[in-house]
Amino acid sequence: MTRIVPSGDLSEPIPNEPFYSEPVSYVEGAYSPVIIGEGLRVTGDYLETAVNNTEAIIEDTTFYVALTGSDTEGDGSQDNPRASPHKAMEVLSQYTIWKGVTVTIQCAAGAYSFGTPINLDHPYGNQIQIRGAQGSGRPSTTELTAGGYGYNPTTIAYTQGVVEARYPTNFVFDMCNGFEAFNVSGVFLTDLLISAGTDTPNTAGVCAGTVLGKVGGFAPSYRVRPSTAMIRLGNVAIWGWTMAGVVTVGGTVTFEPTNGVVTACGDNGGYFGGGLLALSNGLICPSDCYVTNCQWGWAAAEGGAISAASFGRVWGNQNGIYVAVNGIADISNGNAALNVDTVLKIANGGVIRGQSTNYGGSTAPTPTGNLAEVNGAGLADLRNSSFPPGAVFDPPVDTIGNGLGFIRTV
């Protein structure tokens, strides 16, 4: 039973959250607590509540994490920090969080090495943020691709140096996913570099749902663990993951506007490896997130969707956007220039909305593969867009292909 300090607008209490009251009038003298209802009672001057037998955080609170901290001896204070955000989230699982309160897990600068994912599930996750030390800001696409375009050992090493110089707090995950959420979350991540260390296939940096393994041969599919959770991303950089930088399987990942870098991700057996991957009705909203130097910039399949809300940046990757099996990608009014091989591909049904988008223009190098390729039923809408010279389309633009594929330019 936890005492709740009265505060705030109490006119519309939320079910399953603490109820709050102004001081309760009572008669002087000996008395017994008055039982109001399950989990509620009057004691002393205040109405108290217990929700799922947990305690409540009633004001903005910061838990500290540092390389010098301890998960056994640390209490999360600035003078006695914990060693990992894993422990901070575990401790937070014991608390409800009062409406309007923000809880911050503040992580000091340094390179942290973790062997297990950080689980972000929490019923009050949209009131939790995990922050690193503030760096010098997001690098530009020009800076990220100064070591070359495409996905290869040179660009992988170069982009690592760029993001490590910009983001002082680096979470390095060995042989596991980075952040995961499955049930309910909404946690906000910012000022972090999320890196793959000793990576394994089918791992990703930020996961709303996850992939357990790949099955099949020529056209493989995935065994997945779906999610209903959301993860919110601010100024984060995600580097070096073989499956994808961000993956959603039923869940949602959103980037705050003008934030986010996903780079040097892919090479998952050549199938769907890349920056952003939306599967099984998952949704990714990469508003102005820079996706560079990945095997594929975006990939959406099996009803998954990636929508950039007019600010998509799929720039300088080995390949651009891959849509399959009723996936949807919206790069309209965005930038998909300087991708090396195939820029847009649809296989076995799907839609790419790519109107009014820069695919390179008259001075850009011509992709070595097709600028747009639609195999089977699918639609790539590229009206009012700019293309590099000699760009190849299959089927030819504004012509229905043998498999009912269509690339629209007028």
pLDDT in tens, 196-233: 998 677 899 999 998 887 665 444 566 788 899 999 99
Separation CA 84–CA 51 (nearest Å) = 27
Q: If you average pLDDT over every residue of the chain, what do you get?
A: 86
pLDDT at 376: 87
Q: Report residue 295 as tokens.
A: 């095997």
Which pLDDT score is estimated for 55?
A: 84
- Distance in angstroms (rounded) separating the CA atoms of residues 391 and 367: 7
Q: 40 pLDDT exceeds 60?
A: no
How far apart CA 160 and CA 346 sit, in angstroms, is 30
What is the mean pLDDT of the segment spanning 260-269?
Answer: 87
pLDDT band at 364 (very low <50, low <70, confident <90, very high): confident
Residue 360 has pLDDT above 70, yes or no: yes
Residue 394 has pLDDT above 90, yes or no: yes
More confident residue, 376 or 335: 335
CB 152 within 8 A of CB 145: no
* 268: confidence class by pLDDT, cuts 50, 70, 90: low
Average pLDDT over residues 160-167: 98
Q: Tell me how far apart the alpha carbons of residues 310 and 402 are, in angstroms, rounded to a whole number.
A: 31
- The answer, yes or no, to whether residue 28 has pLDDT greater than 70, is no
| Residue 30: pLDDT over 90 | no
pLDDT at 17: 44
The number of beta carbons lying within 10 Å of the beta carbon of residue 100 is 12
User: Taking residues 317-321, what's their average pLDDT?
Assistant: 96
Average of per-residue pLDDT across 75-89 = 97
Distance of alpha carbon 381 from alpha carbon 378, whole angstroms: 10
pLDDT at 386 over 60: yes
347: which residues sit within 8 A by CB, 6+ positions away? Answer: 322, 323, 324, 325, 375, 376, 378
Residue with tokens 């996850």: 210
Q: For residues 76-96, give the mean pLDDT.
A: 96
> Is the confidence at residue 15, as pLDDT, over 70?
no
Sign of the alpha-carbon dihedral angle for 90, 96, 100, 101: negative
For residue 43, pLDDT over 70 is answered with no
Q: Residues 48-73: what's their mean pLDDT?
A: 82
Is pLDDT of 270 > 70?
A: no
pLDDT at 346 over 70: yes
CB-based contact 342:391 (threshold 8 Å): no
361, pLDDT greater than 50: yes
What per-residue confidence (pLDDT) applies to 216?
56
Confidence band of 7 (pLDDT split at 50, 70, 90): very low
Model confidence at 261, pLDDT cuts 50, 70, 90, reads very high
| Pick from 298, 299, 291, 334: nearest CA to 316 | 291
CA–CA dist 227, 121 (Å, integer)? 10
User: Pairing relation of β-strands 34-37 and 40-43?
Assistant: antiparallel
Digit-coded pLDDT (tens) for 295-308: 999 999 999 999 99
Q: Give the residue-averaged pLDDT of 146-164.
A: 97
pLDDT at 137 over 50: yes
Q: Which of 89, 136, 129, 88 is nearest to 109 (CA)?
A: 136
- Rounded to whole angstroms, the Cα distance separating 149 from 161 reads 15
Q: Which amino acid is at 3?
A: R
Candidates 328, 338, 339, 341; CA nearest to 381 is: 328
